[in-house]
């Protein structure tokens, strides 16, 4: 294990990036690290533990059947974050209302504890997505919804955990993006992908093309653009869609590409949730030299009005996001 930096060491090294934080922020990231290990352990056994796999018999606010692993992951992250006493409240995809934790805490967490959970039973990679803010209400007071309805530009940190062929934790605190791979043999995340950046040119596009005719003309034009043969601009692009946001985003971050979940005629605001899917991945995308948009504006500039609001979403290489934005703009 010579010359290997663990996530724990990395968090401590970077602590000076948070002047005035007496290690509170490090405690928060350590709680996420712990819960990620616990969830990874269960996800990797999902097929074996019949009590884990399959629907929990309940539904989340979106009316989606909650998988038992959803509920398990949600509980593990809430428990770990509560134990560290630095978090004042949590907004989770799995909870209709925000969860007050500790009025003395300074930090807000918005999370999708297990995104893509419909893929659990078919053994496809799934992920956790998290976003961290400073509360806006005074420490010691009761939380208000305003503490959660902050623009993505106010994020202190954001990241995701991908439970795939290996488990990785990728996060940013606004000073670049770093990826850590979990070594279950010794129970530590080790720095495996320092200073992650999108490759200069992306040529992968990720979208559920079943929505092609439900999408706007600009989006349809972009799909056709991606499929057009033009050697000078590396086209046709390659279509890759896993149907698990974290997996599609992570592949595009490493190989270059764009992920799109546009507005459709049956879902005018798209499917993805602004607070705990779009904004955290947008922070990472921008820190990695990419972009994230709702098709018309920088996604992190959107002023949220609801915990679970959705937004059309385009994220990845800047040249690809800008191209689809220009085609949407020319729709008139």
Stretch that binds ligand P6P, among 12-20, 110-118, 149-157, 170-178 (CB under 6 A): 110-118
Among 11, 245, 260, 327, binds ligand P6P (CB under 6 A): 245
Using the rule CB under 6 A, is 271 a contact of ligand P6P? yes
Please work out the total of residues on this chain that contact ligand P6P, with binding judged by CB under 6 A.
Answer: 9
Q: How far is the CB of 116 from ligand P6P (least distance, A)?
A: 4
CB nearer to ligand P6P: give 77 or 261. Answer: 261
Q: How far is the CB of 30 from ligand P6P (least distance, A)?
A: 26
Task: Please classify residue 4 by burial: count the beta carbons closer than 10 Å to its beta carbon, then call 0-12 exposed, 13-18 middle and 19+ buried.
Answer: exposed
Q: How far apart are CA 56 and CA 33, in angstroms?
A: 25
Q: How far apart are CA 85 and CA 125, in angstroms?
A: 31
CB nearer to ligand P6P: give 213 or 232. Answer: 213
* Buried residues in 207-235 as b, exposed as e (16+ CB within 10 A): beeebeeebbebbbbbbebbeeeeeeeee
Q: How far apart are CA 277 and CA 117, in angstroms?
A: 14
| Positions 134 through 163 that interact with ligand P6P (CB under 6 A) | none
Rg (alpha carbons) of the chain, rounded to whole number: 19
Could you report how far apart the first and last alpha carbons of the chain are, in Å? 57
Among 67, 69, 111, 115, binds ligand P6P (CB under 6 A): 115
Q: What mask of x and - would describe binding to ligand P6P in positions 178 to 217, judged by CB under 6 A? A: ------------------------------x---------
Q: What residues line the site for ligand P6P (CB under 6 A)?
A: 115-116, 118, 208, 243-245, 248, 271
């Amino acid at each position: 294990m010579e010359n290997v930096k663990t996530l724990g060491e990395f968090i401590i090294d970077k602590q000076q990036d948070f002047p005035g934080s007496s290690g509170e922020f490090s405690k928060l990231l350590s709680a996420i690290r712990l819960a990620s290990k616990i969830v990874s352990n269960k996800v990797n056994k999902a097929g074996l533990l019949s009590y884990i796999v399959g629907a929990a018999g309940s539904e989340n606010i979106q009316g989606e059947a909650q998988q038992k692993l959803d509920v398990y992951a949600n509980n593990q992250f809430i428990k770990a974050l509560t134990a560290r006493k630095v978090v004042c409240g949590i907004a989770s995809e799995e909870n209709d209302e925000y969860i007050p934790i500790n009025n003395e805490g300074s930090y807000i967490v918005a999370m999708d504890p297990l995104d893509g959970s419909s893929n659990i039973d078919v053994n496809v990679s799934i992920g956790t997505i998290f976003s961290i803010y400073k509360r806006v209400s005074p420490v010691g007071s009761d939380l208000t919804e305003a503490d959660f309805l902050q623009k993505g530009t106010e994020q202190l940190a954001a990241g995701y955990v991908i439970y795939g062929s290996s488990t990785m934790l990728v996060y940013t605190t606004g000073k670049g993006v770093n990826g850590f791979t979990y070594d279950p043999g010794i129970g530590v995340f080790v720095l495996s992908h320092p200073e992650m950046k999108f490759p200069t040119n992306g040529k992968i596009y990720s979208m559920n093309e079943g929505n092609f005719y439900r999408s706007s003309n600009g989006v349809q034009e972009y799909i056709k653009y991606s499929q057009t043969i033009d050697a000078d601009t590396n086209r046709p692009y390659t279509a890759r869609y896993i149907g698990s946001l974290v997996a599609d985003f992570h592949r595009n971050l490493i190989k270059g590409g764009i992920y799109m979940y546009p507005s459709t005629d049956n879902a005018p605001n798209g499917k993805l949730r602004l607070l705990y899917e779009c904004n955290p991945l947008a922070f990472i995308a921008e820190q990695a030299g990419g972009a994230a948009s709702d098709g018309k504006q920088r996604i992190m500039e959107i002023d949220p009005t609801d915990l679970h609001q959705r937004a059309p979403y385009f994220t990845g290489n800047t040249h690809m996001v800008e191209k689809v934005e220009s085609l949407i703009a020319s729709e008139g």
